[in-house]
Amino acid sequence: MCFKFLENLLKVIAILKQIFNFKTFFQITFILSLIGLFVLITDFGYDQSNPIQEYINGYYFVVLALGILATAIRYVTLKKNINDKVFIFDAVSLLIIIYIILIHFFSKEAHRHLSFLYNDNWLKFAILLTLIREFAEQKINYKRTLLNPAQLFIASFIGIILVGTFLLMLPNATYTEISYLDALFTSTSAVCVTGLIVVDTGSFFTQFGQTIILLLIQVGGIGILTFASYFSYFFKGGSNYENQLVLSDLTNSQKLSDVFSTLKRILVITFSIEIIGGLLIYTSLNNALLPTIFDRTFFAAFHAISAFCNAGFSTLPNSLYESGFRFNYPLQSYIIVLFVIGGLGFPIVVNVLKYSKYWIINKFQNFSKHNIQHKPWVLNLNSRITLITTFSLTIIGTVLFYLSEYNNLLAPHSGIGKVVTALFGATTPRTAGFNTVDMAALNFSTLMLIFLLMWIGASPASTGGGIKTSTFAIATLNFLSLAKGKTRIEVYRREISDISVRRAFAVISLSLFVIGTGIIAISIFDSDKDLKSIAFECFSAYSTVGLSIGITASLSEASKFVIILIMFIGRVSMLSILIAVIKKVKHKNYRYPTEEITIN
Helices 381-405, 444-456: inter-axial angle, 10-degree rounding? 170
| DSSP H/E element including 491 | strand 490-491
- Per-chain mean pLDDT for the chain: 81
- Answer yes or no: is pLDDT of 245 > 60: no
Coil vs helix vs strand at 495: strand
Give the separation between CA 259 and CA 594, rounded to whole angstroms.
Answer: 40
How many other CB atoms are there within 10 angstroms of residue 146's CB atom?
Answer: 9
Instruction: pLDDT band for 513, please (50, 70, 90 cuts).
Output: very high
**Is the pLDDT at 586 greater than 80, yes or no?**
no
Residues 532-543: pLDDT tens digits? 999 999 999 999
- H/E element holding 494? strand 494-495
* Three-state secondary structure readout of 297-360: HHHHHHHHHHHHCCCCCCCCCCHHHCCCCCCCHHHHHHHHHHHHHHHHCHHHHHHHHHHHHHHH
The size of the chain, in residues, is: 600
Torsion sign over Cα 172, 175, 176, 180: negative
Residues contacting 353, CB < 8 A, separation 6+: none
- DSSP, res 440: G
**Percent with pLDDT over 90 in the chain:** 27
User: What digits encode the pLDDT tens for the residues 81-136?
Assistant: 666 677 777 778 778 777 777 777 666 555 555 555 556 677 777 887 787 777 77
Better-scored residue on pLDDT, 402 or 138: 402
Q: Which pLDDT band holds residue 1 (cuts at 50, 70, 90)?
A: low
DSSP string, 554-581: TS-HHHHHHHHHHHHHHHH-HHHHHHHH
Give residue 248's pLDDT band: very low, low, confident or very high (50, 70, 90). Answer: low
Going by pLDDT thresholds of 50, 70 and 90, the confidence category of residue 372 is low
* Identity of the residue numbered 3: F
CA-wise closest residue to 581 among 147, 144, 157: 147
Residue 14 identity (one-letter amino acid): A
The model's pTM is 0.84
- Cross-strand partners of 494: 491
Q: Could you read off the pLDDT of 495-512 as tens digits, one per residue? A: 888 888 888 898 999 999
CB-CB neighbours of 300 under 10 Å? 22
